[in-house]
Amino acid sequence: MGKIPGSLLILNGKSAGDETLRAAIALLRDEGMDIQVRVTWEKGDAGRYVKEAQQLGVDTVIAGGGDGTINEVATALVNCTGDNIPALGILPLGTANDFATSAGIPDTLEKALQLAIVGKAVAVDIARVNDKTCFINMATGGFGTRITTETPEKLKAALGGVSYLIHGLLRLDKLKADRCEIRGEDFQWQGDALVMGIGNGRQAGGGQQLCPQALINDGLLHLRIFTGEELLPALLTTLTQPDDNPHIIDGKSAWFEVSAPHEITFNLDGEPLSGEHFRIEVLPNALQCRLPPDCPLLR
Ligand SMILES: Nc1ncnc2c1ncn2[C@@H]1O[C@H](COP(=O)(O)OP(=O)(O)OP(=O)(O)O)[C@@H](O)[C@H]1O
Ligand SMILES: [Mg+2]
């Protein structure tokens, strides 16, 4: 015990049958690495395994899955108390993998595993909504929300990240702007939002760069609102020419408050949360994460 720092991989059950992963782990174990694996079945499992990981005294908890799995593991790490809190490693095995992709996590399984175990841990921020639910990557509301929450599992499996966009376009008739009011430090806006992204990270919805300047260790959240009366022209121009676009409003703040006269749904790292009022705040340096040295999300 103790000579090589241990890791506990929390693997989303959707990827439990991955033979390449089995082989990669066997290889690392042959090289002397101590890796334990736990498989999730439903929400809540990852949180319990993080507690176990802390009791085991491992140095790293690896989130093996998509943005939702990273979210659950990161949230549980932030809620850990004590001084032997493991660092977060990321093994992208989800559909969109927006956080991992924008953080520059290698896309081969072996390299990602290696980085997750021996990469340098740096302090990163997380965001918390209404003092309860966390997101490490992004909160999206409006149009983007409908895309992700309504994308059926089968379409996701068949098309990967692209399915979010295609599925969204197929449902254009159902989309409408969401009326809301948003406040932050030196920021206030009221109107109809088509899509709004509040980012600790940069991209969501399978590659949509909603907060292209966001950094995960600057103590700030970046906000981008896409506005417009007519949906299709606004959507096409906003996605294709982000600069000097009258339909785009940007903001930056350590916190944002979003209020709507009726229930709106935010999508936090791919998981929905509905309500009429949201206070979203950044928790600076909330956890340690093993990231590539040239990670574009670090300042
Ligand atoms: N064995 C399992 N089978 C199906 N779903 C699971 C299983 N274990 C956990 N989950 C659920 O999977 C969701 C998280 O999935 P995750 O986000 O990691 O993958 P994804 O949605 O395919 O990827 P991405 O978010 O990157 O598109 C959570 O809601 C969690 O409760
Ligand atoms: Mg997900």
The pLDDT tens digits of the residues spanning 188-233 come to 999 888 778 999 999 988 888 889 999 999 999 999 988 865 555 5
What domains can you pick out in the chain, each with its CATH number?
Answer: 7-119 (3.40.50.10330), 133-285 (2.60.200.40)
Mean pLDDT of the chain: 87
CA of 147 to the centre of ligand 1 (A): 16
**Pocket probe mutation, ligand 1, options 12, 67, 73, 95, max atoms within 8 Å of Cβ:** 12
114 in Cβ contact with 188 (< 8 Å): no
- In this structure, the chain runs to a length of 299
Based on the residue annotation, tell me whether 19 is a catalytic residue of this protein: no
Query: In this structure, are strands 187-199 and 138-142 parallel, antiparallel, or unpaired?
Result: antiparallel
Measured from the alpha carbon of residue 11, the closest ligand is 1
Here the ipTM equals 0.96
* 71 within ligand 1 shell (Cβ under 6 A): no
Distances (CA, A) of 87 to 74, 111, 143, 228, 281: 9, 18, 34, 42, 22
Name the pLDDT band for 1 (thresholds 50, 70, 90).
very low
74 in ligand 1 pocket by Cβ < 6 Å? no
Query: Is residue 144 scored above 50 in pLDDT?
Result: no
What pTM did the predictor assign?
A: 0.89
Q: What percent of the chain shows pLDDT beyond 90? A: 67
Instruction: Report the range of poorest mean pLDDT among 12-16, 53-57, 151-155.
Output: 151-155
Closest CA to 8 of 58, 83, 65, 76: 58
Query: Which one from 110, 150, 257, 271 is the annotated catalytic residue?
Result: 271
pLDDT exceeds 90 at position 21: yes
Beta strands in the chain (DSSP E): 7-12, 35-40, 60-65, 87-92, 121-129, 133-135, 138-142, 178-184, 187-199, 203-204, 208-209, 221-227, 248-253, 255-268, 271-290
